[in-house]
Amino acid sequence: MKKLIESDAVRKNPVTLGPFKFHKIIPGESVQFVKNHYYWKGEPKLDGVVVQVVPSSSVSVAIGAGKFDIVIGFSATKWPEIEDFTNIDILGRPELYYSYLGFKLGKWDSARREVVTDLTRSPVGNKALRQAMGYALDVEAVNEVFFYNFRQRANSLIPPAFKSYHDASLQGYVYDPDRARQILDEAGFIDVDGDGFRENPDGKKLEIKFATMAGDTTQDEIAAYYLQNWRDVGLNVTLTTGRTIEVNSFYDKVEADDPEIHVFMGAWGTGTNPSPSGLYGKSDAFNFSRFTSDFLEETIQNIDSPKAFDPKFRAEQFRLWQQYMAEEAPVIPLQFSYEIVPVNKRVKHYSIDFANPTELHEVELLAKEPLKSK
């Protein structure tokens, strides 16, 4: 297994049962595919496909110049750069994704391979503090200014694309700094020494360490804005390491329960099954908040139990889980995302609808070359 990643069968000549076969791989740059004449769903209509990695800084210009037919993973922050292009159709759909604010509430016991919650030792173990931090964040302004409203404030840990399970009745932690201040006051988080920052209910200094991933300048600006949001309600929140953290180092620190991380900002893609099992259970290493309880564990197990073959039972367990997580706030949902996919107009009848997507072997082209924007 340790040699698997170096194997030619994996790196150079991988076998596929898909509509296209690997033809040429340029690591980190592109992969060329050729038609698989024996694809079980039918022979592809294209002779080949080229998948290319493109820097986000140059992708918009390339789209306008007709370099690509379909662009996956296009950032909403680039929307103004393409909205007036005449050579593309822009498709959209809700993503199976949510971003979240996570609170470190315990540790991972590697010997027993389970979460150990200890609210008394965590600087953010107080539920009222977590709730107030959620209400203090102006996520709505971030969505409008940086993402052109292709993101929206999340009310739940289940994306709304899962209509049978998403609890639309939950309000979520909408921006309400006055409510945040009231919650903190009532919970005993008061500015005792007059320095502008609240002490904890024992009268001790409270400094909360916040970790978030590095990215483009947008990520730095968002992090700075959230820090200011918390300062506005009297909370002294500072960046772990003093700056945003490179993505691999970030997850290394989060998984290792780095003591310098009290709060962190992450995201999950749910896949086609939104079950919380694997992410929030007692035996789940990816339960990064390290929060568990008997009720939480029972509900998660019920969601994937034999009784969950009854759709009404499973939907009810999802509802109970969402409401419990909203109340306890070990993880606060921040954003749902709307995916946008630029498609050149020479591509015929392309759909990204979850219920009826166009599969790769069905793609057809209406012109020899991609169209350019006028």
pLDDT digits (tens, 9 = 90+) for 23-47: 998 888 999 999 999 999 999 999 9
pLDDT at 13 exceeding the cut of 80: no
370 is a domain residue? no
- What pLDDT does residue 123 have? 96
- What pLDDT does residue 14 have? 81
Distance CA 172, CA 158 (A): 12
For 138-166, what is each residue's pLDDT tens digit?
999 999 999 999 999 999 999 999 999 99
- Considering the domain architecture, whether residues 265 and 352 belong to the same structural domain is answered as no
pLDDT at 11 exceeding the cut of 90: no
Cα angle 16, 22, 24; round to 5: 160
For 272-309, what is each residue's pLDDT tens digit?
899 999 999 999 999 999 999 999 999 999 999 999 99
Distances (CA, A) of 135 to 212, 275, 335: 19, 26, 14
- What pLDDT does residue 58 have? 92
Length of the chain as a residue count? 374
Amino acid, single-letter form, for residue 41: K
The residue written with tokens 């730095």 in the block is 220
- What pLDDT does residue 136 have? 98
324 is a domain residue? yes
- Considering the domain architecture, whether residues 186 and 330 belong to the same structural domain is answered as yes
Distances (CA, A) of 50 to 9, 21, 59, 65, 218: 20, 11, 16, 17, 30
The CATH number for 111's domain is 3.10.105.10
Copy the structure tokens of residue 93: 């759909």
- Considering the domain architecture, whether residues 36 and 170 belong to the same structural domain is answered as no
9 is a domain residue? yes
- What pLDDT does residue 19 have? 96
- What pLDDT does residue 43 have? 95
Residue 244: domain span: 96-337
Distances (CA, A) of 139 to 25, 91, 154, 176, 210: 41, 25, 9, 11, 16
Domain count, the chain: 2
- Considering the domain architecture, whether residues 171 and 29 belong to the same structural domain is answered as no
87 is a domain residue? yes
- Considering the domain architecture, whether residues 67 and 163 belong to the same structural domain is answered as no
In this prediction the pTM is 0.86
- Considering the domain architecture, whether residues 211 and 63 belong to the same structural domain is answered as no
- Considering the domain architecture, whether residues 74 and 124 belong to the same structural domain is answered as no
- Considering the domain architecture, whether residues 30 and 17 belong to the same structural domain is answered as yes
Nearest Cα residue to 21 out of 34, 8, 37? 34
pLDDT at 17 exceeding the cut of 80: yes
The CATH number for 43's domain is 3.40.190.10
Distance CA 268, CA 140 (A): 20
- Considering the domain architecture, whether residues 103 and 214 belong to the same structural domain is answered as yes
Instruction: For residues 326-335, give the mean pLDDT.
Output: 97
Contact criterion met (CB below 8 Å) for 198 and 184: yes
43 is a domain residue? yes
Question: How far does CA 110 lie from the centroid of its chain?
Answer: 26
- Considering the domain architecture, whether residues 165 and 132 belong to the same structural domain is answered as yes
374 is a domain residue? no
32 is a domain residue? yes
Share of the chain above pLDDT 70, in %: 100
Distance CA 70, CA 345 (A): 10
- Considering the domain architecture, whether residues 239 and 215 belong to the same structural domain is answered as yes
Phi, psi of 35 (to 5 degrees): -60, 135
- Considering the domain architecture, whether residues 299 and 347 belong to the same structural domain is answered as no
372 is a domain residue? no
